[in-house]
Amino acid sequence: MIKIENFTYTYPGRSAPTIKGLSVEITGGEFVLLTGRTGCGKSTVLKGINGLIPHLAGGRMEGKIEMDGLDTRQADISTLSRKVGLIFQNPDDQIFSTVVQDEVAFGPENLALPRKMIRRAIDKALKRVGLDEFRHRGTHMLSGGEKQRLAIASVLSMSPEILVLDEPLAQLDPRGTIEVLKTIKGLNDNGMTVILVEHRIHEVAHLVDRIMIMERGRIVLDDEPRKALAKIDVFKELGLRVPESAEFSRAMGFKEVALDLDEIKKMINDGIKPPLGPSPGHALLETPEKEDSGTTALEMEGACFRYDRRADFVLKDVTLSIKKGEVVSLMGNNGSGKSTLLLHFAALLKPSRGGVTVLGRDTHKLKAGRLAGTVGVVFQDSTLILFNETVWQEVTFGPRMLHFGETELKRKGEEAMDAMGIAGLRDENPLSLSGGQRLRVALASICSMQPEVILLDEPTSGQDKSNSDSMLGYLCELAKKGITILFTTHDIGAAIRYSDRLLIMNDGKIIADGPPRKITREIETLKKANLRPPLSFEIGQVLDIEAFCMEDLTGRAVCSR
Amino acid sequence: MFKIRTLTVVEKKNSLIYHLDPRTKLFLLLSVGTVAISLDEPEHLLLVSVFLIPAYLLAGFELNKYKVIVLVILIGLWGMALSQAMFYRQWPRTVIMTIIPGDFPLLGRLTGGLYLYKEGLLYGLAQGLRFATMIASGLLVAWTTEPRDLLLGLVRLKVPYGMAFMFITSVRFLPVLVSELFTVIAVQRLRGADTVKLGRHTLRSAINILTPVLARSVKRAATLGASCESRAFNPNLPRTSLRELHYNRVDVMLSGAAVIVAAALVVTKVIFWLYCKDLLYFPELRWLYTIAREL
């Protein structure tokens, strides 16, 4: 059992505590989802449980954290590491071995276990995460989901009783997410206590025993999933994503919240007739046809690309045309070629065969620098984009380089900052901001140049819902002014809600291209790319109506696009 | 730019170089380095470099690696030979080519003439070959040895575990760092920055490029550190190892030969230096002085 008593923690160099008098008890074998806005203190709690606080993080800790009576302040890290395993968001930042079994062996080696026991621990850990066939494989050859499972195996080899995971799904594609969640749930079913910090509440709510929401270093909601999700207002107030099953349950007036599609089906079969707006079979809410601007912004003609002459093609004969002012979303598993396609439109990569045209210019004859101010790229890891000392300098860097006049520079900078809601951060150092804020600064620094094309690589990943919504909403506004937007995402809901057109890539090819709602109906195509339609669509199928978001389903309003 | 990651991959081929114990490879590396530093004549250094060619052929790397090593060696040789040939300041020196005559209007008067000197060229070639030999032998070890084996090899050679771990980990993440560097440059070009132009903004550009790369590295290091520590990592405590190293007869012979050759060369050079400085002279070692003079 984990017992946290009046835990208060202040990071070194800060005056205000990040965690304030937190008290909670977690029973052995429980699966707890700990969620909340970015910066609310979730990760700090995990470090406290793991003993990194206070042993290695410095700072000031008050209160007590105990595991089965073992005080984390008294026990050394080595002892605690056998009790608690900690997994981070990005597996690439924690895996340092080049071979799978070496990574798993690291913990037992540190515990000075004899070689025979290390081998046994590796066997057991790899089996538990389903990687026993990968033992001698190079870590660079693993997919995102496999890497995260390897990270889990590398702590399981120390036989911890508790597993704490800090946003392990944030970097994963749909296939990786399914793999990792299955692994975690399997471990929990076998008696392991799991504490999972995650923004993607809708993906995990049906798996957990308990949901805790934190805000400003305190727990503001702590209940079993059904009861917690009944308090939708708390989630909405904090900008957290509410699972569609919970929203639907509330809209339908179900007595208790359904956690997944099966429960919804059961309730409907039990005779609860939903008072829905549209009549069954009604062809509902098509994406409004966008007026054809006539001008092609981005074009690909039979483009093939491979990173190495001996490697496989990453893009395979891709032909594509995107009109000016279109908002296009691009989905597919990691490695399907999404980011490679995106980089071609910034002239950062040139096709091995075929052609790519950006605003009428052949990229074969074009250096990326020549597109400065015309094409803007926002990478998934915004840290690599930011380098100025203040947010204001960052946002106005592009306009300054492009020799905008002082007045225009000021106007564009302020406009972009206001739109991204970062006006209050003007004098902050961009690198000291939270992930969500950094992404908004990066986007503002692109928008201030008034590019004609904006390319974004997974802008929704690791963001809470309010951040994602405001950012994508702003991009849609830009599109109305004729700016072409192309973004990759793993969130089909965001694609439906915010894009005019959805492209699905699989194995270097575009396997679907059309209005998001039309593509969503093509279940077999989605399956090929390991995608699932949104839950509202599946609920709609049960009710024999077409719905693509909760508003469609309840007949309240049309989705924004 | 995107092939950089392939350079981190240790290939597994069934040839002698892959089966050698990492300690043997480290001894060989150390010996080649010592020999390269001790020799002065370009032709002798060239001979040492040529010795590495069979090892490279035996390794059977993928083409990308050969391209990289050839490019690095050529750039190193060209840069050092040319710069030393142009700016050699010692005497005697023999002009082999005139780039700007001393009486050339303005530039000639400003520079006092720009020439290529034979002695400078030979000195530069020696430096370049030294550099090439060390880089080539270092990469040969890195590309044929799993980092974990190298780590274990260093530890078995009594290098403190913390230091060896730090070294191996930093080498492991070096290509990631280079890849991120290219990404940052590309992103900044798309924001209108001229990242290659030399001039008064060069330093500013370099800072702009390095800031995000360093920020990302610090973030990665913090995560990696926390991850290792939460897995009971403590460089000061005893630990065991899954891997076993096998130092067999071939290893003993190769290591011994390498160390003997390097040590013999160093001893010869020291004895010769003592003789040249009139500090120590043995008439019966005249044959050795003759050899040493040629090295």
Q: B224–A402: do the CB atoms touch at under 8 Å?
A: no
What is the distance in angstroms between the Cα of A346 and the nearest Cα belonging to chain B? 8
What is the distance in angstroms between the Cα of A319 and the nearest Cα belonging to chain B? 23
Q: Reduce the DSSP state of residue A356 to 3 states and report it.
A: strand
Q: Which chain B residue has its CA at the smallest distance from A112's CA? A: B239
Burial (Cβ within 10 Å: 0-12, 13-18, ≥19) of residue A80: buried
Statement: residue B219 has pLDDT above 90: no
Q: Give the closest residue to A326 by CA, choosing from A295, A286, A362.
A: A295
A397 contacts chain B (CB < 8 A): yes
The residue with tokens 């790397």 is B61
Phi, psi at residue B269, to the nearest 5°?
-65, -40
Nearest to B10 among A98, A113, A372 (CB): A98
Q: A385–B212: do the CB atoms touch at under 8 Å?
A: yes
Q: Which amino acid is at B280?
A: L
Nearest to B230 among A52, A371, A377 (CB): A52
Record the tokens describing residue A512, joined without a space.
């679907």
Alpha carbon dihedral A42, A48, A50, A55, in 10-degree steps, equals: 140
Return residues 291-320 of A near B (CB < 8 Å): 307-308, 310
Distances (CA, A) of A17 to A13, A216, A220: 11, 9, 17
Handedness of CA A180, A181, A184, A186 (dihedral sign): negative
Distances (CA, A) of A406 to A399, A402, A412, B15, B194: 9, 12, 10, 65, 20
Q: B242–A158: do the CB atoms touch at under 8 Å?
A: no
Handedness of CA A333, A337, A339, A342 (dihedral sign): negative
- CA contacts within 13 A on the Cβ side of A78: 14
What is the distance in angstroms between the Cα of B239 and the nearest Cα belonging to chain A? 4
Helix (H) or strand (E) holding A304: strand A296-305
Chain B residues close to A151, C-beta within 8 Å: 227
The CATH code for residues A2-239 is: 3.40.50.300
Statement: residue B1 has pLDDT above 50: no
Q: What is the DSSP letter of B285?
A: G
For residues A534 and A519, give the distance between their C-alpha atoms in angstroms, rounded to a whole number: 12
For residues A199 and A30, give the distance between their C-alpha atoms in angstroms, rounded to a whole number: 19
Q: Give the closest residue to A165 by CA, choosing from A182, A174, A152.
A: A152
Neighbours of B256 (CB within 10 A): 12
Record the tokens describing residue B229, joined without a space.
């520590």
For residues A39 and A52, give the distance between their C-alpha atoms in angstroms, rounded to a whole number: 18
In tens, the pLDDT along B36-58 reads 999 988 999 999 999 899 999 98
What is the per-residue DSSP string for B246-270? ---HHHHHHHHHHHHHHHHHHHHHH
Statement: residue B15 has pLDDT above 80: yes
Record the tokens describing residue A232, joined without a space.
């939708």
Higher-pLDDT residue of B96, A552: B96
Residue count of chain B: 295
Tell me the pLDDT of chain A (561 aa) as tens digits.
899 999 999 988 888 899 999 999 999 999 999 999 877 889 899 999 988 888 887 889 999 999 888 999 998 887 888 899 999 888 988 898 889 999 999 999 999 999 999 999 999 999 999 998 999 988 888 878 889 999 999 999 999 999 999 999 887 888 888 889 999 999 999 999 999 999 889 889 999 999 999 999 999 999 999 999 999 999 989 888 888 899 888 888 888 898 988 888 888 777 665 555 544 333 344 455 556 667 899 999 999 998 877 778 999 999 999 999 999 999 998 788 998 999 999 998 999 999 999 999 999 988 878 888 899 999 877 888 899 999 999 999 999 988 899 999 999 999 999 888 888 899 999 988 877 788 889 999 999 998 999 999 988 877 777 778 888 988 999 999 999 999 999 889 899 999 999 999 999 999 999 999 999 999 999 988 888 898 888 888 888 888 888 877 776 444 434
> Cis link prior to A54 (omega < 30° from 0)?
yes
What is the per-residue DSSP string for A130-158? T-GGGTTSBGGGS-HHHHHHHHHHHHHTT
The pLDDT value given to residue A557? 40
The pLDDT value given to residue A212? 97
Higher-pLDDT residue of B255, B106: B255
Same fold, A2-239 and A296-536: yes
What is the distance in angstroms between the Cα of A202 and the nearest Cα belonging to chain B? 27
Q: For an interface test with A, which of B61, B190, B204, B214 has the most A Cβ atoms less than 10 Å from its Cβ?
A: B190
The pLDDT value given to residue A561? 41
Cβ neighbours of residue B263 closer than 8 Å, sequence gap 6 or more: none
What is the distance in angstroms between the Cα of B193 and the nearest Cα belonging to chain A? 6
In tens, the pLDDT along B169-194 reads 888 888 788 888 888 888 888 888 87
Q: Which chain B residue has its CA at the smallest distance from A120's CA? A: B242
Q: For an interface test with A, which of B230, B236, B237, B245 has the most A Cβ atoms less than 10 Å from its Cβ?
A: B230
Q: What is the DSSP letter of A371?
A: G
Record the tokens describing residue B67, joined without a space.
């391209």
The residue with tokens 């993440």 is B173
Neighbours of B37 (CB within 10 A): 15
The pLDDT value given to residue B111? 82
The pLDDT value given to residue B106? 84
Return residues 83-102 of A near B (CB < 8 Å): 84-86, 88, 90, 92-94, 96-99, 101-102
A216 Ramachandran zone, left/alpha/beta (phi>0; psi -120 to 50): left
For residues A453 and A516, give the distance between their C-alpha atoms in angstroms, rounded to a whole number: 20
A114 contacts chain B (CB < 8 A): yes
Q: For an interface test with A, which of B151, B188, B191, B234 has the most A Cβ atoms less than 10 Å from its Cβ?
A: B191
Q: Which amino acid is at A557?
A: A
Q: A119–B242: do the CB atoms touch at under 8 Å?
A: yes
Q: B148–A114: do the CB atoms touch at under 8 Å?
A: no
A50 contacts chain B (CB < 8 A): yes
Cβ-Cβ contacts under 8 Å between A and B: the total is 179
Q: Could you report how far apart the first and last alpha carbons of chain A are, in Å?
A: 48
The CATH code for residues A296-536 is: 3.40.50.300
Are the beta carbons of A326 and A501 closer than 8 angstroms?
A: yes
What is the distance in angstroms between the Cα of A345 and the nearest Cα belonging to chain B? 12
Helix (H) or strand (E) holding A408: helix A406-420
Q: What is the DSSP letter of A89?
A: S
Return residues 424-443 of A near B (CB < 8 Å): 431
Domain spans, chain A: 2-239, 296-536
The pLDDT value given to residue B198? 59
The residue with tokens 């039979």 is A302
A446 Ramachandran zone, left/alpha/beta (phi>0; psi -120 to 50): alpha
Q: A379–B172: do the CB atoms touch at under 8 Å?
A: no
The pLDDT value given to residue A224? 95
Burial (Cβ within 10 Å: 0-12, 13-18, ≥19) of residue A190: exposed
Chain B residues close to A78, C-beta within 8 Å: 232, 234, 237
The pLDDT value given to residue A560? 39
Q: For an interface test with A, which of B144, B170, B187, B208 has the most A Cβ atoms less than 10 Å from its Cβ?
A: B187
Q: B191–A398: do the CB atoms touch at under 8 Å?
A: yes
For residues B215 and B193, give the distance between their C-alpha atoms in angstroms, rounded to a whole number: 20
Return residues 140-179 of A near B (CB < 8 Å): 140, 151, 154-155, 158
The pLDDT value given to residue A293? 63
B121 falls in which pLDDT band (50, 70, 90)? very high
The pLDDT value given to residue A274? 56
For residues B30 and B53, give the distance between their C-alpha atoms in angstroms, rounded to a whole number: 18
Cβ neighbours of residue B290 closer than 8 Å, sequence gap 6 or more: none
